[in-house]
Amino acid sequence: MSRSPLISMHGIVKRFGGVTALENVDLEAYAGEVLAIVGDNGAGKSTLIKILTGVYQPTEGSIKLDGAEFKMANHSDAIAAGIDAVYQNLAIADHLTPPENLFLGAELTKSFLGFPVLDNARMRQEAERVLSERLGVKLKSMDVLTESLSGGQRQAVAIARAVYHTGLRVLVMDEPTAALGPQETARTLKLIKTLREQGLAIILISHSLDDVFDVSDRIQVMRRGQRVGTVDTKDTDNAEVLGMIVGASAAA
What's the sign of the alpha-carbon dihedral 195, 198, 203, 206? positive
Query: Across residues 158-165, what is the average pLDDT?
Result: 84
pLDDT band at 181 (very low <50, low <70, confident <90, very high): confident
Residue 77 DSSP SS3: helix
pLDDT per position as a tens digit, 216-233: 999 999 999 999 999 999
Q: Is the pLDDT of residue 16 over 80?
A: yes
| pLDDT mean over 137-159 | 89
Distance of alpha carbon 41 from the chain centroid: 18
pLDDT at 4 over 60: yes
Q: For residue 156, give Cα distances in angstroms to 66, 93, 109, 172, 249.
A: 28, 14, 24, 14, 37
Where does the chain have alpha helices with state H? 45-52, 75-80, 98-102, 120-135, 151-163, 182-197, 209-215, 238-246
Query: Which has more pLDDT, 7 or 163?
Result: 7
What's at 27, amino acid-wise?
L
pTM of this prediction?
0.88
pLDDT of residue 183: 87
Set out the domains of the chain in order of their start, with CATH numbers: 1-82+169-252 (3.40.50.300), 85-167 (no CATH)
